[in-house]
Amino acid sequence: MNDSFSSILSSSNYINGKWHSAGNGELLLVIDKYTQKEITSVPFCSNAQMEKAIATSVKGFEELKKWSAGQRSDALEKMRAGLVENKEAFAQLIAAEAGKPIGYARGEMDRCIDTLKTAVSEALRFDGEMVPMDYNNGAGKVAFTRRFPIGPIAAISPFNFPLNLALHKIAPAIACGCSIVLKPAPQTPLVALAFAKLVDDLDCLPKGALNVLVANIPEAEMLVTDERMKFLSFTGSPQIGWKLKEICGKKKVALELGGNATVIVDETADIAQAAKLSAIGAFLYSGQICISTQRIFVHESISEAFTKLLVSEIEALKVGDPRDEKVMVSSIIQPIHVERISDWVNEAVEHGAKVLTGGKLVSEEHGLYAPTLLTNTEREMKVCAEEAFGPVAIIETFGDYKDAIEQTNDSVFGLQAGVFTNNFEHVKIAHQELEVGGVMINNIPGFRIDSMPYGGVKDSGLGREGIKYTMEEMTEPRLLVY
């Protein structure tokens, strides 16, 4: 066992304030993504354990919803302080089980602390609104809404931000008075269980208010379909997300499903800044980020100079062990995805795409693929049309700015986009015309602050994350008129 995170490690499922070291008889082997060595194993929960998690979540909700805003805020503050004390251990665990570069893992921990800090304050100020009523038939009336928690939350989190994206479900749920059952990604369950251990050690929530379980497909679907769960929050692939929406029944749903994000670089842009940020945005953590830069469209008048700068920035990125402080491109989460990425690149090249840099496996043993930039691509190629979720980007030119807008919109996805420009008319056009959830000016689409409304359109999902915005999803307004 790695001593750097052994103090926070748990290898059991957390249900109703108790740890369960046995499940359905199957074990999930969790490996270090770089060394491929076993970290530990966790039991898959049984059907009966999932039933218990759901039932106790209902009881936990009945208690938590009675808590004052101050009590909920105090509980979240204890969690925040606990993460501060254990920040490095959590970062080391993220680096091991997610293969995330340690600097980026520490950055995730900073964001986790900020996510909880935001929830601490939102729990105190979140409520309804005054409703204008003093006219016509409402003359002399006063009306306002209060927001009430809707009930237990079913949450499924992804591998790439194994704690922060779990906290984007847990923190707003607790802040507004909802209990939550979390199923973490099978590739990275340990950091979510470590957070459950922290909460358990703090003894800061009612039993059943937080349950964390490793679940196989039948038990996961049980969580999603059960009518006692009043909201489904899912972050993951479009294929799974839309299927879960179909089977989840009448409950409210929020889906964050990723995309093939674009950067547009016009003729007025600072191309050195755009190249440096685009290289990071495309290849940090091997591109395994929902808003990783995948498609780059650059004005033809600057394309040669920009491409030369971009290739130089890409080739300067260090590839290797995520625990190396200088590494930015690290292990791909599973061998099957290394193979998929290689197949997509080879397929593109076979159909006329040109490799400007990369395009090869660095280490099969460690799951490393070279940061790859392609050009002369076609929109139908997988590297363009689908979500690569790997260290692959494409670069193409445009003549007219509106062509770049149209090329960006020519996608089934629409999460975020980045536009590098010093022409304010182009800023306005981008905001008006880009079919995405967020437009980042002179920045990459991977920019995110945890309090902002974050989400997409089209196949990129439904609803918005960001603590206040998620709390709105997890509550219902109730009107009072007198």
Q: Please tell me the distance from the alpha carbon of residue 367 to that of residue 339, in angstroms, as a whole number.
A: 9
User: Which candidate in 248, 290, 384, 473 is catalytic?
Assistant: 290
Is residue 198 within 8 Å of residue 15, measured between CB atoms?
no
Tell me if residue 363 falls in helix, strand or coil.
strand
Q: Please tell me the distance from the alpha carbon of residue 433 to that of residue 461, in angstroms, as a whole number.
A: 19
Residues in the chain: 482
Q: Which of 7, 232, 5 is nearest to 98 (CA)?
A: 5
Q: Which residue in this structure is represented by tokens 């920040």? A: 87
Q: How many CB atoms lie within 10 A of CB 180?
A: 29
* Cβ neighbours of residue 275 closer than 8 Å, sequence gap 6 or more: 306, 309, 310, 312, 313
User: Which candidate in 256, 313, 387, 473 is catalytic?
Assistant: 256
Catalytic residue list contains 256: yes
Angle between helices 271-283 and 303-315 (to 10 degrees): 40
Q: What is the DSSP letter of 320?
A: S
Q: How many CB atoms lie within 10 A of CB 437?
A: 23
Tell me if residue 174 falls in helix, strand or coil.
helix
Is residue 294 within 8 Å of residue 249, measured between CB atoms?
no
Is residue 10 within 8 Å of residue 1, measured between CB atoms?
no
Question: In one letter, which amino acid is 106?
Answer: R
Catalytic residue list contains 204: no
For residue 145, give the H/E element and its range.
strand 143-149
Question: In one letter, which amino acid is 294?
Answer: Q
Instruction: Give the rounded distance of the alpha carbon of 435 from its chain centre.
Output: 20
Buried b (16+ CB within 10 A) or exposed e, 127-152: eeeeeebeeeeeeeeeebeebebbbb
Q: How many CB atoms lie within 10 A of CB 55?
A: 16
Distances (CA, A) of 480 to 137, 140, 147, 477: 16, 14, 11, 10
Q: Please tell me the distance from the alpha carbon of residue 193 to that of residue 12, in angstroms, as a whole number.
A: 8
Question: CB burial class (10 A; 0-12, 13-18, 19+) of residue 121?
Answer: middle
Instruction: Give the rounded distance of the alpha carbon of 327 from its chain centre.
Output: 21
Q: Please tell me the distance from the alpha carbon of residue 172 to that of residue 73, in angstroms, as a whole number.
A: 11
Q: Please tell me the distance from the alpha carbon of residue 377 to that of residue 427, in angstroms, as a whole number.
A: 27
Which residues are annotated as catalytic? Answer: 256, 290
